[in-house]
Amino acid sequence: MTRFEELIAPHLDAAYNLARWLTGNDSAARDVVQESALRAFRFLQRFAEGNAKAWFLTIVRNESYTWLKASAGHRWVTIDDDLSADETAPAHQQGPELSAIHTENAALLQQALCALPPAFREVIVLKELEDMPYKDIALVVDIPIGTVMSRLARARALLKLELLKLHDHE
């Protein structure tokens, strides 16, 4: 097994997951992961020791933002970090009604998550879907750990508001 396969291959699913949530596009996510893997391969000698997942997801994050900026053009908006921060599947099937409720809830959650600005979406995805520790999220997103925690709290609050808006529109 090559060093690249050893360090990067185990994290390809996480990379695709992050790219998919940031770009909102399957095709773009595949392109972003492919470009990220190529970059990781090219710069593998620069990676000494440490957290390979965080290093690779940082590359994926940067490539995702490059794609977003290129596709958004003049509509690109950055997030101010100084803003104050004041679905699970059932373990067993319980009938078609419950299944429909879970499917509807998952769709609403996905819609609400996609409505969040990328800076908030990425911390939710890395924490809740990839189960990364705060310190690793801080490495990937390149912000202090305290900012990770406050951004995550704000992201959760925004997600809750989005879910309430979507529920009210039904």
Could you read off the pLDDT of 23-62 as tens digits, one per residue?
A: 888 999 999 999 999 999 988 888 878 889 999 999 999 9
At residue 79, the pLDDT reads 45
**pTM summary value:** 0.70
DSSP classification of residue 142: T
CA 4, CA 8: separation in Å to the nearest integer? Answer: 6
Q: Which two tokens stand for residue 5?
A: 């396969």
Instruction: Quickly state the pLDDT bin for 78 (edges 50, 70, 90).
Output: very low
1 burial type by CB count under 10 A (0-12 exposed, 13-18 middle, 19+ buried): exposed
Name the average pLDDT for the chain.
Answer: 80
CA 97, CA 99: separation in Å to the nearest integer? Answer: 5
Q: Which residues of 67-105 are buried (b: 16+ CB within 10 A; e: fewer)?
A: bbeeeeeeeeeeeeeeeeeeeeeeeeeeeeeeeeebeee
Q: Which two tokens stand for residue 46?
A: 């620069």
